[in-house]
Each structure stands twice: as C-alpha cells, then as structure tokens.
Amino acid sequence: MPTDSPSSSSLLTPLAAIDAFCRQILTAAGADHATAEAATRGMIHGSRHGIDSHGVRLLAHYVKGLVEGRLNPSPKLALATAFGAVASLDADNAHGALATYTAMTHATRLAGEFGIGSVAIRNSSHFGPAGAYAIDAAEHGFIGFAFCNSDSFVRLHDGAMRFHGTNPIACAVPVRGQNPWLFDMATSAVPYNRVQLYRSLGRELPAGVASDERGYDTRNPEVADMLAPLGGEFGFKGAGLAGICEILSAVLTGMKLSFDIAPMPGPDFSTPRGLGAFVIALKPGAFVDIDTFDAAMTRYLDTLRSSPAREGFNVMAPGDREWKVAVHREKEGIELDPATVESFRALGSTYGVNSPV
C-alpha cells in the first residue's frame, strides 16, 4: 500500500502490540489514563491510515514533553466560555489529542442541540493527525472539521523566512454503510514530520516541498530549513489556507501566532507552548432530510469513483487510500522506520516495558 513507510521485507509489527506499548509507556512516564488513551488513539490513527509522519514515531517526543514539563500529565480540562452553539475549552496544557477529542465531544453535543457546534481550544499542544478528530465526529453522524496552527516552519509564497506553521485542515463526512469521506491536509507542501521521516529513511525529498535557509528549493532533507506552502508556483493558495487556520486557531482563541510559538523540537521542553486549535461539528439532518443527505453523498461518491481516469490510474475519493492502508495494516501489521524502532527500544529499556520491535 502507498505510505510514507519503507517498502522492504522487514518484520511487520501488529498494530495492537504497538497500541499497548504506547499506552504502557505513556502511563509509565506519568500520564493519567485519559491522556494515555487520547495520545495513543491519535498516534494509532496516523499509523493505521498510513500517515506515518504523525503516527507512533511521535511517542518519544510526547514522553519527553510529559517528563520535562511541556505537557500537563493530569490536566483539568474545562469549558472557559459558552454561548449558544459555541464554546471555548481551556485544555490546561493537556496533550493536544486529549484537548481536541474533548473539544469535538463538546462540539457534537452542541451540534446535536443546535445543528452546529464550534469549540475554540486554548492552552493545548501538538495534536498529531487532524483527521483523527474530524473522523471522531463523522463516526457519530456529524460532519467534522479540525484546524490548528503550529510553530513557524513554512515560508510565505515568494517568502524567504519561516512564517506559518504547517497549519492543517481536516474534514470528515459520514456516509451511510461506508467509511467516512475524509480529507486531511497540511497547508504546507508536506508536513514537517515528513522531512524528519525522510531523514530517518535516507530518502530524497520530492521537488518543490522544502527550501534551504535562503528560501530556495532543496531535495536534501538534511539541508531543508523551511517548508514551501502548498501549491508550488501557485503557493499563495496554500499560504492563504494557512492564514485561515491561523485566524481560527490563534486569533479567535487568544493563543499564540505561529511565529510566537516555541519550536516543537525544543530545546525547551519544560515550558508549555500555548497552542490553540478549533473544531466544528455539523448535524446533516438539521439542514436537509437525512435520507436525502445520505442518498446524495452515496450518489456523489459512486459517480466520483466510477468516473473516467487517465490510462494507468484510478480515481479515488478523499480517504480511500487511507482506508485501504488501514485494512492492510490491521491484517498485516506495520513496518516502523529505523529511528522509531530505536526509540521504542530505548523507551522500553528506560521504563521496563517490553518493546514490540
């Protein structure tokens, strides 16, 4: 299946074993049950669906944040404000997955009452794959959106400095009798973790996705100093989309703008980063008869998937690749990149937990 992972004959590890290991390590590092559950759930979403850059390779990073003080291991999340169908959640410097799953739970509750629910998230942290939270809404019958900003690593169109973060956007839509329609994208050409992954794998980056310190394209992951905005020669579109995420996640939450956020890789892991995020849930039946909605989504996807394709290619709906990868990995397991294998073994040794690799 097409993923970020290496395609060799190395031993594949069952997802269930990796899931159990992550929970045990996070708990041993001091995380409460809710944090270990949410952080693992978010990482496993990434690894299960082939988004390896935002999967379990982040475990060591999160452990470092828990141990050194960046993350609150036992946060007290609470709604700071509430007004009709909107609310603000103070995450108390929780792991970003716990904050965002909690916010989406509130958003779907509000959408169930008002047809729409929006929750702005304050005092959060890195949340991993944005699609995990959009899917959470779709699996409960709602259309879900998730946004966040992050520390500056992406130049503007024609820019020569880090400005926006990778600022992802995700949307998931329920489809009767099928997996949800799923769209999950960074507004940069690639996520920063993709550069880290390619360094680990010794791979050359695709053209037009990263720049050196002067803002010029490079394919060498060791030289990459910033990312390009989505769109190549039309990168103003990606930069504009990143701005939408910035406004929803930072301006509307009162949290830090990308260029004010402490870098994800450190060196400081003792200070909370003060990230914002934003989620929206929509109840389809509040806008149109639910049978009409379901029929239209089914016809839309049936027509899309059966539409003519170029020779040697096939047309897929957003999420189709991810669901195919998920089925494959649930059955066969996952091959972890060398850096992740090394970090798992080191964490297992430190905390007395048997590594699955």
**Burial category of 30 from C-beta neighbours within 10 Å (exposed 0-12, middle 13-18, buried 19 and up):** middle
Q: Where are the alpha helices (H) located in 85-223, listed in sequence order?
A: 96-114, 131-138, 192-201
Q: Across 41-186, where does the E strand assignment appear?
A: 78-83, 86-90, 116-124, 143-148, 154-155, 162-164, 169-173, 181-185
User: What local confidence, expressed as pLDDT, does residue 192 receive?
Assistant: 78
Q: Which two tokens stand for residue 98?
A: 């716990």
pLDDT tens-digit map of 253-271: 999 999 999 999 999 999 9
Taking 50 as the threshold, does the pLDDT of residue 1 lie above it? no
Full set of structural domains in the chain with CATH: 15-351 (3.30.1370.60)
Pairing of strands 86-90, 226-227: unpaired
pLDDT tens-digit map of 33-65: 999 999 999 999 999 999 998 999 999 999 999
Q: Following CA atoms 235, 157, 171, 72 in sequence, which dihedral angle do they give, to the nearest 10 degrees?
A: 150
The residue written with tokens 């995380």 in the block is 31
User: What local confidence, expressed as pLDDT, does residue 6 receive?
Assistant: 47
Minimal CA–CA distance to 347: which of 66, 97, 128, 71? 66
Minimal CA–CA distance to 271: which of 279, 284, 286, 261? 261
